[in-house]
Chain A
Amino acid sequence: MITVQSLTKQYGAKLGVEDISFSIQKGEIVGLLGPNGAGKSTIMKMLAGHIRPSSGQIEVDGIRADERPREVAARIGFAPELPALYPEMPVKDFLRFITEIRGVPRPRRAEQVEEIMKLSGIEQVAGRLIKNLSKGYRQRVGLAQALVGFPPILILDELTAGMDPKQIADVRLLIKKLSDKHTIILSSHILSEIQATCEKVIILNKGRLAAVSDMKLLNQSGGEGDSFLLRLKAPKTMGEKLLAGVEGIQSIRLVPDSREESTSFFITGAGGVREEIFGALARQNVPILELRTASATLEEVFLQLTGEPQNEEAKD
């Protein structure tokens, strides 16, 4: 449905994004993930037709964005990170205006505005001026604006920024619901946000593509075989010494453990390595307090792929 080839955007001498290629199938929920300044918003703005790429190509339903930008724009609903709203307008009038300029047929306008307000959970603020709304509600009006005309593709940039936990949960449900009929691209620098909502993730770092992967695969493997979390009743040095002798372990990483009597390790290796670990520790009478399969978090995947930690904010 969307094909992006060698997309590059330069801002003067500064490179915004460089040589990005990916494709998105109909009905997918795709997450764009990366630290601040990774190029997420730049890519989204280019997809939505708000800025032109310096080079590269965007195709939507086989239509090239550089040749027929208006046709491509008509297929996309975009909710930017800072919602583009008219502050002096009441919510309902604003949405009505958007239906008018997007060419929603006149008999369907009122009905569509009501439906969208209900979907986005903004019915109770329909008559209020946008400038008097809280940040969370403004984000939702921004989402409602993107939904006008029910375009097949929705691009949602940092949509949940400024929302309270209840609103975030509501929006996640809404995104799942919308994915029945829409292809959705959403960006976040919050890892759990992407994990909770997306089926596929595009990881960006410093304007370049770090990885494109199915979320399930990432959750299962972290890209390096099976992962385990092991907690031992032994000091760190002893644990490391014992584990070093176990065959089949690919990597061992110490995990912070606040309890004094135990040490925790994050281990990757083939599935059978669990028995080897158990045997080696049993022979030395070292009690295993916990041994469980651990899905690598997206943060760990991010570390592996980009070689640098997410910022503190991203650990929310």
Chain B
Amino acid sequence: MRYLIKREISNYFSTPFGFVFLGIFLLLSGLSFVTYNLVGGNGDLAGMFSLLGSMSFMVFPILTMRLFSEERRSGTEQLLLTSRLTIPQIVLGKFLAAVLVLLAALAVTLVYVMIIGVYGYPNWGGIFASYLGYLLLSTAMIAICTLTSSLAENQVTAAVLSFGALFVLVMMSSFSRNLQIPVVADILSALAVTTRYDEFTRGIFRPGPVAYYLAYTGAALFLTVKNMQLRTLR
């Protein structure tokens, strides 16, 4: 599986996709750092992660649009499906490659933490919770986009599907808050992917939301595996 991860990561940077993702991510985080921390004088990164969280439905489709759809379009999907790799390994390999690119982007933002550490009064607990929360939210969103990419026939469709799915899931938190119908409101609230994220950015760390995001990621990856298995039966 590590060969697949290696190939996927090198593919991100042999095409513009990796650079576009990193560029947008670092632009957003940099702007937020300047306004919220340097100008605003805050010692945590709540502003940056709040902005990244709300913009994530725009950046993750870029990161994941090619994962499966491009392989399908070019026929290379069959190279993987007839190799020694199992379908769960293929899905996990592609997912982990996207997560590793995200980690590289997050690693760059540690520069902001160092600047706060040297020149300001850092809230270490808040910073740690923010990073953990964003990582959990991002992996869940990448897993959802992995699923949509596995459903699409080409990368444009994959990007549009991912964008639509994430947009609806982010918007669901507003719907569920205002909805009075008991069971439906609960279901919408469970699906609303950003609802449990805000408390991380406020520096609150509870096991419940951690388990929620891990389950969300697991469920999306499981559905991706099932979808791929169904495709091979056709």
- Residues of chain A touching chain B, judged by Cβ–Cβ distance below 8 Å, are 48-52, 70, 73-74, 76, 78, 80, 82-89, 97-98, 100-103, 145
- Give Cα A51–Cα B80 distance, bound, in whole angstroms: 14
Mask, B154-180, CB within 8 Å of A = 1, is 000000000000000000000000000
Q: Given the complex of chains A and B, what is the CA–CA distance between A89 and B74 in angstroms?
A: 13
> Assuming A88-B14, A103-B84, is B75 touching A51 (CB within 8 A)?
no
Query: How far does the Cβ of B45 sit from chain A's closest Cβ, in whole Å?
Result: 35
The residue on B at minimum CB distance from A73 is: B82
Docked Cα-Cα span, A133 to B133, in Å, equals 46
What residue of chain A has the Cβ atom nearest to residue B83's Cβ? Answer: A101
A81 nearest CB neighbor, chain B only: B75
Query: Which residues does B use to contact A, with CB under 8 Å?
Result: 3-4, 7, 10-11, 14-15, 74-85, 232-234
Q: Which residues of B contact A86 (CB under 8 A)?
A: 7, 11, 74, 76
Tell me which residues across on chain A come within 8 A of B7, comparing CB atoms: 86, 89, 97
Smallest CB-CB A-B distances: 8 pairs = A84-B75, A101-B83, A100-B3, A103-B84, A73-B82, A88-B14, A84-B76, A50-B78
Closest to B86 in A: A70
Q: B234 to A101, Cβ gap below 8 A? A: no
Query: Which B-chain residue is minimally distant from A101 (CB atoms)?
Result: B83
Alpha-carbon gap, A78 to B175, bound state (A): 51
Q: How far apart are B55's CB and chain A's nearest CB, in angstroms? A: 28
A80: chain B residues within 8 A (beta carbon):
75, 78
What are the residues of chain A within 8 A of B81 when measuring CB–CB?
A: 49-50
Say yes or no: B233 contacts A102, CB within 8 Å: no
Are B74 and A101 neighbours in the complex by a CB distance under 8 Å? Answer: no
How far, in whole Å, are A182 and B77 apart by their CA atoms in the complex? 25
For B89, give the chain A residue with the smallest CB separation.
Answer: A101
Indicate if the CB atoms of B3 and A101 lie closer than 8 Å.
yes
